[in-house]
Amino acid sequence: MSAFMVSDKHINTLVSCLRKWVSLSRKEAQEYAEVLKKANIRSLDARYGKQLIDPKIEYRDIPEVMSETLPLVNILVACRCFEYQSCESNTWDDSYAKRIIDNIVNLTIENLPGFHDAPWGIE
């Protein structure tokens, strides 16, 4: 299994989803972006040994997310990619970063066209 450092744009895309759907402040969005970047770095450190990666990130809204022109499936795939790149640390399963990603996945699913019109149960 290999892992890589996702781009700041990748992280900002994920956090933009939260900012759009749950009205995060810019300060909160910045904090979430930092949590995600550090989780990715911890995974690389666990996989390859200590990496010399700058943990700084500047949160920026991603226009395609804010204007809802980015397909929701792209967000789901971006979440899975981030999860794969960040799961090498033995703290991933209980991490705040994982909870953030799980929240984005759930919100993305709830925003899929037709989600709220679909039957709750199948008979």
115: in domain: no
Closest by CA to 57, choosing from 4, 2, 98, 13, is 13
Position 67 scores a pLDDT of: 95
Please give the structure tokens belonging to residue 45: 């450190």
- Note the pLDDT tens digit of each residue in 57-116: 999 999 999 999 999 999 999 999 999 999 999 999 999 999 999 999 999 999 999 999
Position 63 scores a pLDDT of: 97
39: in domain: yes
Position 52 scores a pLDDT of: 85
| DSSP states of 2-17 | ---PPPHHHHHHHHHH
Please tell me the total number of residues recorded for the chain in this structure.
123
Global pTM?
0.94
2: in domain: no
Band (5; pLDDT cuts 50, 70, 90): very high
35: in domain: yes
Position 32 scores a pLDDT of: 98
Please list the alpha-helical segments (H only) found in the chain. Answer: 8-22, 26-48, 63-66, 72-86, 96-110
Average pLDDT over residues 26-31: 98
pLDDT at 1 over 80: no
**Per-residue b or e along 5-18, where b marks 16 or more CB atoms closer than 10 Å to that residue's CB:** bbebebbbbbbbbb
Helix/strand/coil for 49:
coil
21: in domain: yes
113: in domain: no
120: in domain: no
pLDDT at 117 over 90: yes
Residue 32 belongs to domain spanning:
8-108
Query: What is the total count of domains within the chain?
Result: 1
51: in domain: yes
Position 34 scores a pLDDT of: 98
- Note the pLDDT tens digit of each residue in 39-52: 999 999 999 999 88
Position 23 scores a pLDDT of: 87
